Structure 1
């Protein structure tokens, strides 16, 4: 998509959209010298700028003046993507009510739901899903909204996405599940939510288990939860190393005792 060079009027319209100056937007559009969807060299339109900066009145004015609601920047991102990224609930609702496509992805495959989940914007995520967003739409690396919410420690989003039917074991291309990532990071609240949905506690396509991830980083509370859920401390990873072996290698006495005590119980 080749962009025409911006005119001085285009630049003024973009500035008014960024600043939330609805009067200037009206005046410039009424002059007839500038197009409502004029794009800068990145493909950004006035609507995208107003949405990204949280200017509700400007968004409404631009839509009334015929702005293309689904215009994409060169990166594939739309006005809805930016509203979702910033958590601008009211703007997201206005855009969806006016026909914004809920799932338009960026060039790396991140949907508005993905970015809302990544940034912890629960209400926006709920609104997107009730307007037809796909709960498991993947980024190019295979990460789903649930995967990214688990990595970022947004337990309330994780709980909601799971209730909405998100696949608990949605794999990233590297073979890691949301549970593996949450265990690796030590996100206890996320781990608790994921465990309610019976995630895979065995060997994953990445050659490890969730318990290996938790043990490697000495996340004791997570280890305890995994053991209670039925994870095996004697299950070897692809290199033949068990979680107990990992604990012994790191000379972590409390973790060794925790894992060994569970071994005797079983």
Structure 2
């Protein structure tokens, strides 16, 4: 989200036309000019709940920009702290998304609620978790944010933190009771997502906290399969410590097939070292060696054949 200078209008009914004073109030809120903001609000000609053309209030703009003095000024002048614009976002959501912990604490002091959600089902905690703002996550959890919140697609704060590789936030959420194996609607778990993104530290923490190493998505792929295809070798090393399946998966293939298709020799060697069988065919009766033209990879998959043996 970006706040543009789209002009402000008052929310009194019917809405007044945009005024230079309302525009000035938004500018002051965005820039953190508290004395000017106070002057404008005290004039009685600018409503504390003025909205710009995107439906944002000056309080949202000040919260997004991290200006505590302006936030306090607007609240003292009667700004609606829990007002939501059409997307469902509130001042608390914007402050959390941007990692402004001091603003988040101030909003809570004056009665901000963690109950409000955006149109996609997200709240302040999902926003803070997605962007890895550990201090804000701690403040939100202390003030009653629900660790089990979900976007409409089923993504939890933990899932979003794993997607971004935010290890500190992952630990915080798990310590607050987040379910490590809760999946999105398509079956994707936090572990699968962290593995796909190559976040080895996140993968390590999730596994140590009980993540199911073989949890598969609706497409039948596991964390190991995805990491193998992408060549995320540090992730694979963490997964292999927990002995994941190297045999045929529900998608009709093996992690070794994925590694060969990905074309990373080191990945192929890692899986062979973990006893992946190069003679296991996929559902199309193809061996891993049938899926590559790389001599380097063929040499490790078929050493006997290439060396003139049987």
In the superposition, the TM-score normalised over structure 2's length comes to 0.79
Specify whether residues 208 and 6 from structure 1 end up closer, same or farther in structure 2 by C-alpha distance, changes over 3 A only.
farther
1:82 paired to 2:127 = yes
Matches of 1:65 and 1:205 in 2, distance apart?
A: 52
**1:26-175 paired onto structure 2 within 5 Å:** 26-32=72-78, 34-175=79-220
1:148 Cα deviation from its structure 2 partner: 0.4
SS at match of 1:116: helix
Match of 1:254 among 296, 299, 303: 296
1:70 Cα deviation after fit: 2.9
Give the deviation of 1:6 after TM superposition: 8.1
2:266 to 206, 214, 221: 221
Counterpart for residue 70 of structure 2: 24
Q: 1:179 to 1:262 in 2, by over 3 A?
A: farther
Q: Where does residue 231 of structure 1 map in the other structure? A: 276
Q: After TM superposition, give the deviation of residue 84 of structure 1 in Å.
A: 0.9
Matched residue SS, 2:302: helix
Matched, 1:244 2:286: no
Does residue 1:192 correspond to 2:192, yes or no? no
| Cα distance between partner residues in 2 of 1:232 and 1:223 | 11
In structure 2, the CA distance between the partners of 1:19 and 1:76, relative to structure 1 (3 Å rule), is same
Q: Which runs of 5+ in 1 are unaligned?
A: none
Q: What SS class does the counterpart of residue 166 from structure 1 fall into?
A: coil
State the alpha-carbon separation in 2 of the partners of residues 6 and 103 from structure 1. 37
Please report how far the alpha carbon of residue 23 of structure 1 lies from its aligned counterpart in structure 2 after TM superposition: 2.2
Larger radius of gyration: 2
Q: Higher relative CO (CA 8 A, sep ≥ 6), structure 1 or 2?
A: 1
User: How many angstroms apart in 2 are the aligned matches of 1:190 and 1:177?
Assistant: 13
- Aligned-partner Cα distance in 1 for 2:275–2:10: 62
| Aligned mates of 1:71, 1:262 — CA distance in 2 | 64
Unmatched 5+ stretches in structure 2? 1-8, 12-46, 51-56
SS for the counterpart of 1:23 is helix
Tell me if structure 2 keeps the 8 A contact 1:180–1:209: yes
CA displacement at 1:253 relative to structure 2: 1.4
Tell me the SS of whatever aligns to 1:27.
Answer: helix
Paired position in structure 2 for 1:14: 60
Note if contact 1:136-1:145 (Cα within 8 Å) is conserved in structure 2: yes
How far did residue 218 of structure 1 move?
1.7
Q: CA deviation at 1:219?
A: 1.2
Runs of 4+ in 1 over 3 A off after TM superposition: none
Separation (CA, whole Å) in 1 of partners of 2:235 and 2:100: 33
**Deviation (angstroms), 1:65:** 0.9
* RMSD of aligned Cα (Å): 1.7
Q: Is the 8 A contact 1:216 1:246 kept in 2?
A: yes
